[in-house]
Amino acid sequence: MVLVKTVEELKKNLKALRKKGSLGFVPTMGALHSGHISLVNQAVRENRVVVVSIFVNPNQFNDANDLKHYPRNLDADLKLLEPTGCDIVFAPEAREIYPEPDTRKFNFGPLETAMEGKHRPGHFNGVAQVVSRLFEIVEPGKAYFGLKDFQQLAIINKLVKMLALPVEIVPCDIIREKNGLAMSSRNELLSVEERNNAAFIFETLTKAKNLAGTKNVNELENWVKENINKNPFLNVEYFEIVDFENLQPVKSWGDKGKKIGCIAVFCGKVRLIDNIVLN
């Protein structure tokens, strides 16, 4: 496993490695955990060469304080990656990704105005900027993303189609802690007590899945919000039941297609997201 920090170093190392065959890519923002490692392991199983990037992208943070406090620990990340068999870790500074300010504006239509887009203006444009830039640099055949960031995954699939990029996006299952909490780098910012109480999010989502169809859509959305907000550690920012493909609000269980419940919850000052397929 080789650590490189510049685009030039990366391209130099990849020149020889590409001859081995298929290239898999796992883009991350570091503070790695078992969820990330599951993506890397899948990439290693499915490709001859694997690149993992570690880059906290400033363009996708609409809160400067959130960017400042985002967890970073490159040494710990490298120790976790070492046993996976990945070939290259690309950990650039911002000037390597953005040698010039990225002023591109993407239009993802209704995909970016729902849920996260509503509460984090500009976030998905920043995601699109960094992902397209990383794809341009790495040139992977496959790229691996977790289903926890469900709306982000929809945006990236749309981005690939819009730009006609020759990369296959591989969605990977949510990895959870023993108490059900979806693994996230942000979990490291929780106190032990907060982390224990955050498990109530998935507990409630699981109950909601069982209740789907017994309450109408609006009733179930309200029930989830009210139930979670009873926990003094938790405060729901949104819970929406949307269409699995286009992320538009579901009005009735009779609507066509799969339905997914997506949620954002503040646990203290830490913002957590999760989702669950409801049918």
Active site residues: 36
**Shortest CA distance to 236 belongs to which of 208, 213, 216?**
208
Distance, CA of 46 to CA of 87 (rounded, Å): 14
Residues in the chain: 279
Q: Which residues of 215-229 are buried (b: 16+ CB within 10 A; e: fewer)?
A: eebeebbebbbebbe
Helix extents (H) in the chain? 7-17, 34-46, 64-69, 74-81, 94-97, 110-113, 115-119, 123-138, 150-163, 192-211, 217-229
| DSSP letter, residue 246 | T
Q: With contact defined as beta carbons under 8 Å apart, do 279 and 259 qualify?
A: yes
Give how far Cα 19 sits from Cα of 9, 16, 24, Å: 17, 6, 13
Tokens 């496959």 appear where? 142
